[in-house]
Amino acid sequence: MPDASTLALFSVAALALIVVPGPAVLYIVAQAIDRGRVAGVVSALGISAGGLVHVLAAAVGLSALIVSSATAFTVVKYAGAAYLIVLGLRRLLSRDDDEAAPEARRERTLRRTFWQGALVNVLNPKTALFFLAFLPQFVDVDQGHVAVQIAVLGLLFVTLALISDSVWGLAAGSAAGWLRARPAVLRAQRWTSGGVMVGLGVAAALTGERKS
């Protein structure tokens, strides 16, 4: 178990990284603008669930295996990119949701939004690389129980990220209420959210290969 000073230092370093918007925040904001505050928070919960998978993988060493294998890394990378592009294209090509009532859309999509967020993060090999590069810097090997230390630090990071991501989701969802009062902007939501997801997928696919 990391001591109090290590946890404090880790929290400061983690917050410095978390407050900078990244792909996860863009995904959450797109979902919140498209479907409202609840969907934004649910997206953040999904992203956090995917983060927990990476924490578990890092603790038991599976992430190290993926990172050490160029083939496994590439497969995960392109699977994640393809999934984002598919989500974006489905949104761009779907027209019925624009005419549906916001309440009906939330009822249909909240569960799907959660699992999409989780898969987006699980299929992001950069998250695995991040945990393997960042968490070990705060692990004291002499204390033993390295896996437990990694798990504790990972859970702390995911918790802090969830708080930050939820704020982004709530803020974007609040703005969405104002945007929905304007039909032209409402129609543009589909193109904005779909375009963001396609762009994230293309960016992930074009990222340079893993260095050996």
Q: How many CA atoms lie within 13 A of 52 on its CB side?
A: 10
Alpha-carbon distance of 10 to 105, in angstroms, equals: 39
User: What type of residue sits at position 16?
Assistant: A
Tell me if 198 sits within 8 A of 85, measured CB to CB: yes
Extract the tokens encoding 106.
Answer: 């939330």
Domain segments of the chain as ranges:
22-205
pLDDT of residue 163: 94
Return the pLDDT at 45: 95
* pLDDT tens over the chain, length 212 residues: 767 888 888 888 888 878 777 778 888 888 888 778 888 899 999 999 999 998 888 888 766 666 666 676 677 667 767 777 877 787 677 654 444 445 555 555 788 889 888 988 888 777 777 777 777 778 776 777 778 888 888 899 999 999 999 998 898 888 776 666 665 655 666 666 667 667 767 766 776 554 44
Please check whether residue 58 is in contact with residue 128, taking contact to mean a CB–CB distance below 8 angstroms: yes
Calpha distance 83→178 (Å, rounded):
30
Distance from C-alpha of 170 to C-alpha of 163, rounded to nearest angstrom: 11
13: which 2 tokens?
A: 């370093």
SS3 letters across the chain: CCCHHHHHHHHHHHHHHHCCCCHHHHHHHHHHHHHCHHHHHHHHHHHHHHHHHHHHHHHHCHHHHHHHCHHHHHHHHHHHHHHHHHHHHHHHHCCHHHHCCHHHHHHHHHHHHHHHHHHHHHCCHHHHHHHHHHHHHHCCHHHCCHHHHHHHHHHHHHHHHHHHHHHHHHHHHHHHHHHHCCHHHHHHHHHHHHHHHHHHHHHHHHCCCCCC
